[in-house]
Amino acid sequence: MRKIFLFKIFSLIISILIISLLCWLLLFLYKNFYQSFIQMQEINISQKEIIKETVDISLANKIIQKLQIKKDVIFPKNLEKTKNPFSLF
């Protein structure tokens, strides 16, 4: 009688342990594989929607040069050579 009772308790403990391990395994697979797979699919879908353009380097260099010229006109490099408008001489 006592052996049967111990066997029932032991089987109950083992079954609870197996169920908890299965739950942990499902949670692990969901977090580490399924969600990663879904994110990878979203990236592939969004890459198709993004417009792929190449940058025209010569046009970009022209724009940078024009901005540099504007900057040099507004802020001259050699301020010592410029005339002081407030001086009398």
CB atoms within 10 A of CB 25: 10
CA 22-34-31 angle, to 5 degrees, is: 60
Report the alpha-carbon distance of residue 89 to residue 87 in Å, rounded. 6
Q: Has residue 82 been placed in a domain?
A: no
Query: Residue 42 belongs to what domain range?
Result: 2-74
CA-atom Rg of the chain in angstroms: 37
Q: Name residue 8's amino acid.
A: K
Assess if residue 31 is contained within a domain: yes
User: Is 89 part of a structural domain of the chain?
Assistant: no
In a domain, 88, yes or no: no
Instruction: Please report whether residue 57 resides in a domain.
Output: yes
Total domains present in the chain: 1
> Is 45 inside a domain boundary?
yes
Print pLDDT tens along the chain (89 aa). Answer: 788 888 899 999 999 999 999 999 999 999 888 888 888 888 877 777 776 777 789 999 999 999 888 877 766 666 666 677 777 66
